[in-house]
Amino acid sequence: MRVHVQNDPDDPGFLITPDHWRRATAAEPPHAVSFGETTEDFLRVRDEVELLVGPPAALRPLRALLGPKLRMVFSNAAGVDGLAPLDWLPDGVVLVNNRGTHGVKAGEYVAMAALVLAARLPALMEAQREGRWLRLPAPPLAGRHALVIGTGDLGGAGARALRVLGVRVTGVNTRGTPHPDCDAVRPVAALDDLLPEADLLVLACPLTEATRGLIDRRRLGLLPAGAGVVNIGRGALLDDAALCDALDAGRLGGAVLDVFPVEPLPQGHRIWRTRNLVATPHLSCDDPASYNDRSLAILTANLRAWRAGEALPNRVDPARGY
């Protein structure tokens, strides 16, 4: 198969190299592979490329330039909202993502965020910076109730990590499909009934037209006083202005956000100075030491399924957006 890897030069820590490719495809039939970073690099090989590989930022400029032999696009990311709408995919071309790459780090991040919020560390750290002796004893995390929206790779890993810490977890997905790492799973239609019972809300679902703005000001108001919010999904799932209002007013206990509607988060943005809020720069699920190896292993598994005429484990449904 003729493969082209298009890298994003603005993200040098995650460039797919020939060494990554050789390690991942050692047991694969030989492929002719090229690597590039510019549109010109791609145009030189476009007419021969059957499999195009790259992160969304590198693929976006190529959407209107795809060649006649293309059969598959592999997005080196789980969320494909950066490529939406997906009507640019030619007939017969499949889009595959790297779902399954992020679980280990996602579980650790959710556990860290839950412990930070349960211990009221954001307020204690603010007091430390100000030189104030502030005693804020808090009950343990064990025994609390978390609502995890999204039960895919990210949400499932988060739920698993929380249950190890003694947290009762209710998962939320489109149809209420059971998940082995959740104590219960309910459909998204039940969300308004579930929010008042949540000590911790974890957002870990894809961004689609159905989930954009899912947690708006009204739904944030349904959370009980003192609840915590964690977002590792996408920034546009959540009304960040409403969240900041609730935190500044002391109605919610704290938040840990790793994703934002605009990234990088602009200087002077309110999130930087909101009380009891921890902001990390979209790194919760990424391990540069293993990310590309894991991703390409997932790609090769999909290629094996394709050659065998089986369903592709990571095929994206353009109608659903994930």
- Predicted pLDDT at 130: 96
For the chain of 322 residues, list the mean pLDDT of each consecutive stretch of 10: 97 95 92 97 98 98 97 96 96 97 96 98 96 96 98 97 98 97 98 98 96 98 98 98 98 98 96 97 92 96 96 96 92
- Predicted pLDDT at 148: 98
- Predicted pLDDT at 56: 97
- Predicted pLDDT at 248: 97
Cis peptide before 318 (omega within 30 of 0): no
Cα angle for residues 258, 262, 263 (degrees, 5° grid): 60
Q: What is the secondary structure of 84-109 as a DSSP string?
A: -SGGGSPTT-EEE--TTSSHHHHHHH
- Predicted pLDDT at 75: 98
- Predicted pLDDT at 40: 98
The residues facing 202 across adjacent strands are 148, 230
This model's pTM is above 0.85: yes
CA distance 52 to 154: 25
- Predicted pLDDT at 121: 97
Residues assigned a catalytic role: 234, 263, 282
* Six-digit token string for 55: 């992160």
Please name the amino acid found at residue 197.
Answer: E
